[in-house]
Amino acid sequence: MYCNEGGTHESVSVGRKRSHAESLLPIKPMKEHVLPITPPLKKPTICKPAPFDYDEEAIREREACNYSQKITLEMARAGKAPRAVRVYADGIYDLFHQGHARQLMQAKNLFPNVYLIVGVNSDAMTHERKGRTVMTEDERYEAVRHCRYVDEVITACPWTLDDEFLEKHKIDFVAHDDIPYTTGSATDVYAHIKARGMFVSTERTEGVSTSDVVSRIVKDYDVYVRRNLARGYSAKELNVSYINEKKYRLQNKIDDLKKKGKEMFEDIEGKRTDLIMKWEEKSREFIDAFLMLFGRDGRLTQYLTEKKDSVMMALSPPSSPKAGSQSSEDCSSPPAKTSRFDFSGRAGASLVDDDYSDDDDEEPESH
């Protein structure tokens, strides 16, 4: 076998020699044939809720079941059942929670091949036997049929299971917790199922039940009422009086103020570091500006000094100078005593003094 120019392989008989032209052609290696890798099979995705017992899908499944082939508990546990094991679980399933889902998960995994049928009690039956529910029966039906472990839902199921109900829905086993379910009477509603060997027990989830959920709501009643009022529900819808409505709304406003105050405080705490850094950067400028204004030689001190001098000059003006341009010393000292006619400063003053020294003592002559 050799490769031609086109890259295809052609077989050549062993007895025939290659021609000279064929010998000049390069022999290309054969390409390995790689088989495509098949991706692993994926489990079918659940893209729709479980059917009700009266839906066509559930009816086909029920009719296809050969109920004449009885399955014992040993056969089911050993995985030797000739068909799918039809397991039934029932309940009220009010406020569907993880405890309900866990119970249904256990029922689904009791045996290797289980078709899980779940019965849900009606409102009338539940209110008569156990009490008022939070959710309506339609809401409870929808909650259960959207659980991934459920294959079929029976609406308005009976409180006590009889043989007619078991044969109608071709039920092989009934799953429930092992605690006797009396609901006020002395008889366990699953007593005859246990006697026939059709009962399979599941475990309860401790600390989780519908009663616990309701107790939490009742305990924090005020909180939930205030929350719903804040979300737009009216006092009439919540069955709240006028006074309580005003009280709850006032508490909501106070809580809002507290929340805003806390957010403001947290915002200030976040910005505190930035403020300290900025203050350290600007502190020297603040100090210099303060000293320039209020320091010993600051502008404010100089201004006050100038104003002080102006005020003092206005309150105490200087005295006017005397005639004769006396010196400051003459003005300050009192004048010296002189004679009546002081001629000491003129020429011939002594002669005048000698001639008229006795005029005052002589009396004038009489004519």
124 closest CA partner among 132, 113, 115, 116? 132
Q: What is the pLDDT of residue 187?
A: 82
Q: What is the pLDDT of residue 12?
A: 45
Tokens encoding 119: 């019965």
Q: What is the pLDDT of residue 275?
A: 74
Buried b (16+ CB within 10 A) or exposed e, 84-119: bbbbbbbbbbbbbbebbbbbbebbbebbeebbbbbb
Tokens encoding 333: 């000292």
Region at 232 (left for phi over 0; alpha for psi -120 to 50; beta for the rest): left
Buried b (16+ CB within 10 A) or exposed e, 181-195: eeeeeeeebbeebbe
Q: pTM of whole model > 0.85?
A: no
- pLDDT digits 0-9 by tens, 130-155: 899 999 999 999 999 999 999 999 99
Q: In this structure, are strands 2-3 and 9-10 parallel, antiparallel, or unpaired?
A: antiparallel
Q: What is the pLDDT of residue 13?
A: 44
List of the chain residues with pLDDT < 70: 1-45, 183-184, 270, 284, 291, 293-298, 300, 317-367
- pLDDT digits 0-9 by tens, 299-333: 767 777 777 777 777 777 666 555 555 554 555 55
Q: What is the pLDDT of residue 282?
A: 74
Q: What is the pLDDT of residue 322?
A: 54
State the average pLDDT for the chain: 79
Q: What is the pLDDT of residue 117?
A: 98
